[in-house]
Structure 1
Amino acid sequence: MSIIYLLIPIAGLFVILAVAIFFWAVRSNQFEDLERQGMNVLLDDDDAKLKSPEKNQPSSRNDKH
């Protein structure tokens, strides 16, 4: 039963810490653009790979003189 006297203050500290981190995230605009990260998953970057052919060509490693 004496462990509860230790666990309740530790739980209170966790709650205070979680609330402080939440308010820091709100103040630093972490929740401004919630749609962009979700759309990044849906939009594919295959077009960017097709437009840059230099990435698709193998590099020549025999250029050392």
Structure 2
Amino acid sequence: MEALYLLIPLSLAIVVLAAWIFLRMSDSGQFDDMDAPAHSILLDDDRPPPMDITPKGGAVPKDPAPPDNAGR
């Protein structure tokens, strides 16, 4: 019976704390739009992919050197 004197106020304090946390999160807009971020990953981009980009200075990269046949 003495345990109830401790457990009932403790459980009420936990309920009040949980309600306060929920209301604070609700007021800050945490639960406003739960579906849009999940669906936005599936949508296509409106922009086309970027074309080939040349390095700074306008230099065009060289083709790799052909393999050396002297090592045969």
Query: Normalising by structure 2, what TM-score?
Result: 0.51
- Count of aligned pairs: 46
Max radius of gyration: which structure? 2
Matches within 5 A, 1:8-19: 8-19=8-19
Query: Normalising by structure 1, what TM-score?
Result: 0.56
Q: Could you tell me the percent identity over the aligned residues?
A: 37
Gaps of 5+ in 1: 44-50, 52-65
Of structures 1 and 2, the one with the larger relative CO (CA 8 A, separation 6+) is 1
The 3 A distance-change label for structure 1 pair 9 and 35 is same
Task: List structure 1 runs of 4+ shifted beyond 4 angstroms.
Answer: none
Letter in 2 for 1:22: F
